[in-house]
Amino acid sequence: AVFYDSYSGTPITAERVKQHDKANTTFWCVNEIEPCDPKEGRRIDGSCNNLKFPSRGATHTPFARVLPPVFSANFEPKKAADGSDLPLARYLRTSLVPVGRIPSQMFTALAVHDFVFMSADIVSLHDTVNYIVWKPYCCTERGRTDYACTPNPVPADDPVHRFSGIRCLNMTRPETFQSIGCIKNGTTPERIVSSTPLLDLSVIYGNGLQNLLQRGRLFQGGLLKFEVEDGRVWPPKYNTTAHICFANQRPQETRCHLMPEDGGNTLGGINLMTIWFWRHHNFIARNLAALNPCWTDDKLFEIARDINIAVSLQIYYYELLPIFFGYDNMVKDGVITPTGGFRDPYNSDVMPQVSLEYPFVLRWVHTIQNGPLKMYDKDGYYMKQIPIVNLTLRTGYIGLDDNLDLMTQGSFRQGSDNVDHTADFDITEVGLGPHQYVSDLMTSDLAKNRLFGFQPYVKYREFCFGNKVKSFDDLHGSIDPERIEMLKDVYKSVEDIDLLAAIWLEKPLNGGFAPPTFYCLVIEQLRRNMVSDRHWYERPNRPNAYTAAQLAEIRKATIARLLCDVGDTVTRIQPRAFLKAGYHNQMCNCEQITGIDYSAWKDPTCEVESFWSKFV
Ligand code: HEM
C-alpha cells in the first residue's frame, strides 16, 4: 500500500506516517491505499476513483469551494461592510423566518426523507456529536476558554426566549484539518468529514472496507447481514447498550443498527431510508442469484451494490430533484438527460470532491421538514404521530410494535412542510430533541454560514446569474418586496446579506419550487459528481459498465417501486410517491408499478457452466 497525506493528496514516507501514529492523527490525516487497478469497480473507501490522484475521493479529503472564502482576522467570521459585527444568527433567524406548521399539498414527507438520506452520504456526524456529547458546555464559563466553542447568543427580546430566560444556544466550530492536527494552524480552516465525497450510499456500505467486511457482509449469496424480528427484516443490531442510539427509551426500545457506519441511526428520515436501501441490496442480490446460480458471493455483492447505488442516483437525479427544480431546467442545464441512453461526461482533471457550499445549502431543506411524523395504517387511516425531532438517535422507537409499518405508510401519505419561507417550530425551537436543552437548527445553519467563511449572497448571485447586485433595490425580481424590506431592517448593507439568509427568502425559480441560488449551487455539485466520478452509472466506459439494456432497466427505478419491493405492508401506493396522491397521481396496486427487470443481468455463461457440469 502507499500512504497519502489526506489533505494534499500526495504520497508520504513511512517516517511521516510514524509521526502521525505518535500524534494519534493517522486515522484522519493519512490514507493508506492499495495500488489501483483501472479495471476494478468502485471501492468502498472511495480511493482510486481518479487514477492520477488515488487518494482523492477517499474519506478525510478536502472539500472544493465554489467561491474562495472570506474571514476577518484569525479566521473569525467576517464583519459587516462598515467593519461592525454582523447581526446575531438567532436574531436573523427569528426576524427572517416566520414559524408555523403548514402542510404541503404537493410534496410528501418521503421527499424530505430522500433529501436528507442523500445528504447523509457525504457529511458526517462529528460536528453535531461534538456539541451534544463532547462539548455540551459552550454556554457555561468553561466554554469561554475553549476555542472549539462558538455558542449562539439569544437577544433579550427574542420572541420565544424573552420568556424562558435562555440567552445562549450551545454550538461548536466545524472540525477542520487544522483542528484535527493534519495541517498547521494559522491557515484558512479546511473542513474535514469522514464520508467519501461522491454519492455511493456511504450510509449503507460505509467508508472503509474493514467496517463493511465486519459489520455489513453476510458472505453468502451477495447479501448484507440481516435479522428477522416479528416478521420484519432489519439490519443487524448491537447486542450491547453501548451504541449511538442515546435516545432509546429503555427497556422497551432496544434496537440500534450495527452497520458499517452509524449514520443510519441518526435522524428519523435517514433511519427509514437506510432500512429500505439495506433491504433493497438484498432484494437485488436475491434476484441476481436466482438468475445466475454460477455467480460467487463476491460477484453478487458487488453487482447488487452497484445497482443499489445506481438506483439511489436515478431516484435522486431523475425523480426527486426534478419535482423541486423543474425537469426542463435540469435538462437545459445538463444535469439530466432526456434521452435515457448512456452519457459520458467523465473528466479526469476534475477531482472527485464535494463543494463546501453543496451540503451547506442543502440545509435549506430544514424549512420544509415537517415537525410531526405521522403514522397511518395500510388503508390510509391516521393512527398516531411523534415529533420527528424526538426520533434522532432513537432507532429503538422504529423497532417497537408495528411502528415501522405505520411510518412507511405515513411517508407517502403525509405532506412535507410547505415551501413557503416559513419553518416548523420543532425545527426552530426544539431541533435536537432530548439531546440538547434547546436548539434552533436554522440558527446553527446561519452561524455555520459564517464559520465556513462563505462570501456574501450578492457574490453567489453574481456567480450563478452574472448580475451584480449593488443595492437592496437590485434584489427586486429575485426576492418579494416585503422580504426585501425585512432584509433592509436587519442588514445595513446589501453586501452584508448572508448566503443562507437570502436563500431562505428568494422567490422560487421559474418552472420549479426551490430558491434559484439553492438550485444553482446544488446543480453545480450534481454536475461535478457526474464529471468527476469514474464509476458514474450512466457511463458506457467505466469498469463493469451496464449494457444499454441494463441501463434502460435502471431508468425504471422509482421510489414507489422500491417501497413496493421492500416496504412493510406496501401493496398500494401512488406511482410518483414524492408527490401526494391525487387525480393525476392515483394510488394503485403495486403490480401496476413497473420496476427493474433483472433478467437484463442474466449471465449466459452460467447456463453453459451448468450444461457442462452434467457431464463432469
Ligand atoms: C428531523 C429533522 C432534522 C433534524 C433533527 C436535523 C438536524 C440537523 C442538525 C443538528 C444539523 C447540524 C447543525 C449544525 O451545523 O450544528 C443538521 C445539519 C444538516 N442538515 Fe439537518 N436535520 C433534519 C432534517 C434535515 C433534512 C430533511 C435535510 C435535507 C437535506 C437536512 C440536511 C442537513 C444538512 C445537509 C446539514 C449539514 C450537515 C453538515 O454539513 O455536516 N436535515 N441537521
> Which CATH number fits the domain that encloses residue 403?
1.10.640.10
**pLDDT value at residue 125:** 87
Of the candidates 358, 310, 382, the one whose C-alpha atom is nearest the C-alpha of residue 537 is 310
Q: Do 258 and 178 belong together in one domain?
A: no
Residue nearest to atom 26 of ligand 1 (CA): 116
Specify whether the CB–CB gap between 195 and 59 falls below 8 A: yes
Q: How confident is the model at residue 611 (pLDDT cuts 50, 70, 90)?
A: low
Which among 489, 507, 525 is the end of a domain?
A: 507
What are 264-306's pLDDT values in tens digits?
A: 999 999 999 999 999 999 999 999 999 999 999 999 999 999 9
Specify whether the CB–CB gap between 555 and 52 falls below 8 A: no
Q: Do 248 and 324 belong together in one domain?
A: yes
The contacts of residue 477 (CB under 8 Å, 6+ apart) are 507
Mean pLDDT score of the chain, rounded to an integer? 96
What are 535-581's pLDDT values in tens digits?
A: 999 999 999 999 999 999 999 999 999 999 999 999 999 999 999 99
Residue nearest to atom 24 of ligand 1 (CA): 366
The contacts of residue 550 (CB under 8 Å, 6+ apart) are 600, 601
Task: Say yes or no to pLDDT of 157 above 60.
Answer: yes
What's the number of domains the chain is made of? Answer: 3
Which among 507, 530, 563 is the end of a domain?
A: 507
Per-residue pLDDT averaged across 588-593, rounded?
Answer: 98
Task: Say yes or no to pLDDT of 616 above 60.
Answer: no
The distance in angstroms from the start CA to the end CA of the chain is: 42
- CA of residue 424 to ligand 1 center, whole Å: 14
Specify whether the CB–CB gap between 259 and 225 falls below 8 A: no
> Residue 365 is placed in which grid cell?
431543506
Per-residue pLDDT averaged across 347-357, rounded?
Answer: 98
454 belongs to a structural domain: yes
Q: Do 469 and 521 belong together in one domain?
A: no
Q: Do 282 and 187 belong together in one domain?
A: no
Half-sphere exposure of 70 (CA within 13 A, CB side): 15
Per-residue pLDDT averaged across 528-541, rounded?
Answer: 98
Task: Select from 363, 395, 437 the residue to mutate for testing ligand 1; criterion: most ligand atoms less than 8 Å from CB.
Answer: 363
598 belongs to a structural domain: no
With cell 448566503, the residue in question is: 499
Task: Say yes or no to pLDDT of 373 above 90.
Answer: yes
Q: How confident is the model at residue 608 (pLDDT cuts 50, 70, 90)?
A: confident
The contacts of residue 614 (CB under 8 Å, 6+ apart) are none
235 belongs to a structural domain: yes
Rounded CA-CA distance 54/544 in Å is 19
Task: Select from 202, 267, 324 the residue to mutate for testing ligand 1; criterion: most ligand atoms less than 8 Å from CB.
Answer: 267
- CA of residue 363 to ligand 1 center, whole Å: 6
Q: Do 384 and 310 belong together in one domain?
A: yes
Q: Do 182 and 208 belong together in one domain?
A: no
591 belongs to a structural domain: no
3-state secondary structure 393-414: CCHHHHHCCCHHHHHHHHHCCC
What are 160-219's pLDDT values in tens digits?
A: 999 999 999 999 999 999 999 999 999 999 999 999 999 999 999 999 999 999 999 999
Q: Do 184 and 85 belong together in one domain?
A: yes
**pLDDT value at residue 323:** 98
- CA of residue 470 to ligand 1 center, whole Å: 32
Per-residue pLDDT averaged across 432-455, rounded?
Answer: 95
Cross-strand pairs, 589: 572
Q: Do 240 and 190 belong together in one domain?
A: no
Q: Do 268 and 253 belong together in one domain?
A: yes
Residue nearest to atom 8 of ligand 1 (CA): 441
**pLDDT value at residue 241:** 85
Name the residue type at position 615: F
Task: Say yes or no to pLDDT of 614 above 90.
Answer: no
- CA of residue 38 to ligand 1 center, whole Å: 36
Q: Do 249 and 333 belong together in one domain?
A: yes
413 belongs to a structural domain: yes
Task: Say yes or no to pLDDT of 609 above 90.
Answer: no
Q: Do 496 and 350 belong together in one domain?
A: no
- CA of residue 408 to ligand 1 center, whole Å: 21
- CA of residue 130 to ligand 1 center, whole Å: 14
Task: Say yes or no to pLDDT of 595 above 60.
Answer: yes
Task: Select from 65, 104, 119, 358 the residue to mutate for testing ligand 1; criterion: most ligand atoms less than 8 Å from CB.
Answer: 119
Q: How confident is the model at residue 251 (pLDDT cuts 50, 70, 90)?
A: very high
Task: Say yes or no to pLDDT of 382 above 80.
Answer: yes
Residue nearest to atom 18 of ligand 1 (CA): 363
Which pTM does this prediction carry? 0.97
- In this prediction, what percent of the chain has a pLDDT beyond 70? 99
604 belongs to a structural domain: no
> The domain containing residue 477 runs over which residues?
65-96+124-194+426-507
20 is in an annotated binding site: no
ipTM computed for the complex: 0.98
What are 385-400's pLDDT values in tens digits?
A: 999 999 999 999 999 9
593 belongs to a structural domain: no
Q: Do 109 and 172 belong together in one domain?
A: no
Pocket lining for ligand 1, CB < 6 angstroms: 112, 115-116, 119, 123, 127-128, 171, 267-269, 359, 362-363, 365-366, 369, 388-389, 392, 432, 441, 444, 448
- CA of residue 120 to ligand 1 center, whole Å: 9
Backbone angles phi, psi at 218, to 5 degrees: -90, -20
613 belongs to a structural domain: no
